[in-house]
Amino acid sequence: MGARSEAAGYGDARERPDCAAARRRRLSVDRRRDELMAAALELFGARDPDDISIDDVAAAAGASRALVYHYFGGKRELHVAALRRAAAGLERRPPPMDGGCPLDALAGALARYFDFAEEHAAGFAALLRGGGAGRGGEVGRIVEGVRGELFASLTRRLPVREPGALLRVTLGAWIATVESAALDWLEHRDVERRALERLLVDQMVATLTAAARHDPEASHVLHNLKNDR
């Protein structure tokens, strides 16, 4: 008890030298891993993963080949780790949903999605294109996870608890629309980003309007969306 409170007190005032050293080491390991993953995302996103070697990644991060193997074990493992980091960033991105009308909230969510796509352009494209990471279905699962997260944040927003078949297809298709538009934008950059975001919000309304002709639930959601406007 005495030792515990002493240690706690010690930690509060100034860190114990051995703890501080361990913390520095850990921080430096984390930073090094981050640098390697960032370099890997940049390379894997920009070029065919087949054409990229561990040496390329090491050179881009100013590290040794041995260090990359030490931290990740191999190229595939590094790629999957980097994609997972990109995905975690995207999953954290969905905005708070309190207040505001649903269409504004949707526009806000889209803006954050595109912020992320822009900040992590190479990783974002690598993640969604899924290209080449292989390692069995891992990349597929990462992408499905990101989609599931977006889908859940969308249904919370509308709000719908358990969408029926046609509404589920419609919302899933809109997410595919957003992904496709974001990849196109990263590749071409010939549309103003805000204009694209506005188009995508309009397309959500349009696609719900089309679905509403086939499905009472979609009609109900659309009604809420518009009345809230």
In the complex, minimum distance from the CB of residue 45 to a copy of itself, in angstroms, rounded to a whole number: 11
What does DSSP assign to residue 96? Answer: P
In the complex, minimum distance from the CB of residue 49 to a copy of itself, in angstroms, rounded to a whole number: 5
What the block records as the tokens of 31 is 């930073």
Q: Residue 105 or 212: which CB sits closer to a copy of itself?
A: 212
Per the CB < 8 A criterion, the answer to whether 70 and 29 are in contact is no
In the complex, minimum distance from the CB of residue 85 to a copy of itself, in angstroms, rounded to a whole number: 19
Cα–Cα distance measured from residue 213 to residue 207, given in angstroms and rounded to the nearest whole number: 10
First to last CA, the chain: 59
The torsion angle over the Cα atoms of residues 124, 125, 129 and 131, rounded to 10 degrees, is -100
Q: Residue 207 or 224: which CB sits closer to a copy of itself?
A: 207
Q: Mutual orientation of helices 75-92 and 102-119 as an angle, nearest 10°?
A: 150
Per the CB < 8 A criterion, the answer to whether 221 and 106 are in contact is no
Q: Residue 89 or 130: which CB sits closer to a copy of itself?
A: 130
Q: Residue 28 or 180: which CB sits closer to a copy of itself?
A: 180
Q: Which residues bind a copy of itself (CB under 8 A)?
A: 48-51, 76, 129-141, 165-166, 168-170, 172-177, 179-181, 184-185, 188, 190-191, 195-196, 198-199, 202-203, 205-207, 209-211, 213-214
In the complex, minimum distance from the CB of residue 166 to a copy of itself, in angstroms, rounded to a whole number: 6
